[in-house]
Amino acid sequence: MRGTRLAVVLAAVVPLWGCQTGSQSSPEAAAPWDFVHTFYYGWYANEAVDGFTAHWNHDVLGVDYETSFPGGDDIGANYYPALGTYSSNDSAVVETHVRQCAEAGIGVIVVSWWGRDTFEDEGVPLLLDTAARHGVGIAFHLEPFAGRDAQTSRDAIEYLLDEYGTHPAVYRPDEYGRRPMVYVYDSYLTDAEEWRRLLDPAGDLTIRGTSYDVIAIGLWVNEDEGEFFLRGSFDGFYTYFGSDGFTYGSASANWPVLADWARRHDKLFIPCVGPGYIDTRIRPWNASTTRWREEGAYYDRMFEAAVAAGPPVVGVTSFNEWHEGTQIEPAMPRTVGDYIYEDYAPLEPDYYLTLTCLWAGEFAKTRTP
């Protein structure tokens, strides 16, 4: 459907794919496809469930930021969630989130993970159990926790697989030897030679050929990073950022070049698309990175470019990163004091879930005879 805005024809096409996300529905639900991934943040806490507030007030569990918010109606985000300031440990919320992902055609949730016994780690069992009921896989997003190097990264992978690796919801694609997938955010912060120790078969800390082997996906940021991924022995790379052009890797115009490089070097290329980007409530100085949603047109352009590049997987940034305004989770109108939150009007609150489903269907057509 190149050149045709899916957002414009959304209502007419929904029955074709069986997308059913709230107001848009059809009798047959779309199957979640394991070649559509979304980045998921289980870091939200509230008083009712957790006894404290985290992230909604831009308090990142003890990190002191210049911009902070009291929580409640006044949160560190430009949009306000339709579910309110929820807890990531609320089973009803997690059930809703996973169901929404499945109905949007998303087959893999990539959960942000900051280390053993962290708040984000404590929520993993609930997410795994819920995902299993909906036929959705779970991959891990290894964040740049303090002291991350080859040894601590191996320790982290060993912990994740020892603790959760046998769970049926852990994403293990057949075509890659049923190894779990681990995305490594800001992989460039660690030298390629450190990653080589872990990811090269000859490395002194290698996981290759062991029960801890994974599909390791690094983050491509700048133009000339091919050598980093070769020396670091990564299996592939992703672009993450939902702001088109924020980095070389996130610029959709560069995706054909990156796709060609990946094919020539036998690496997985995972372009990441987003519905928009705005983080000016928490970073007032960052307005240049804002990408307006344009009633779905921005998302259409990014998804179309990703599908055209012919990758094995497309990542969606994000399901619920509210601080940066990249969420496809439903938002609702809200005003606090003199601040009016952004919302999706005149579109429905679940519009971006439905649009994700439609583009997942378009991507599926390119992968089947």
Instruction: Output the 3-class SS for 5-39.
Output: CCCCCHHHHHHHHCCCECCECCCCCCCCEEEEEEE
Query: Which residue ranges form the domains of the chain, and what is each CATH number?
Result: 10-367 (3.20.20.80)
Q: Residue 176: CB partners within 8 Å, gap ≥ 6? A: 215, 235
CA 17/CA 90 separation, integer angstroms: 30
CA 105/CA 113 separation, integer angstroms: 23
Question: Are 248 and 286 contacting, i.e. CB atoms less than 8 angstroms apart?
Answer: no
pTM value? 0.93
CA 33/CA 360 separation, integer angstroms: 8
Cα→Cα distances 53→40, 44, 72, 168, 362, Å: 19, 8, 9, 31, 40
Query: CA 219: distance to chain centroid?
Result: 13
How would you write the pLDDT of the chain (369 residues) with one tens digit per residue? 444 566 655 544 444 445 754 444 433 446 799 999 999 999 999 999 999 999 998 765 444 455 678 778 899 999 999 999 999 999 999 999 999 999 999 999 999 999 999 999 999 999 999 999 999 999 999 999 999 999 999 999 999 999 999 999 999 999 999 999 999 999 999 999 999 999 999 999 999 999 999 999 999 999 999 999 999 999 999 999 999 999 999 999 999 999 999 999 999 999 999 999 999 999 999 999 999 999 999 999 999 999 999 999 999 999 999 999 999 999 999 999 999 999 999 999 999 999 999 999 999 999 865
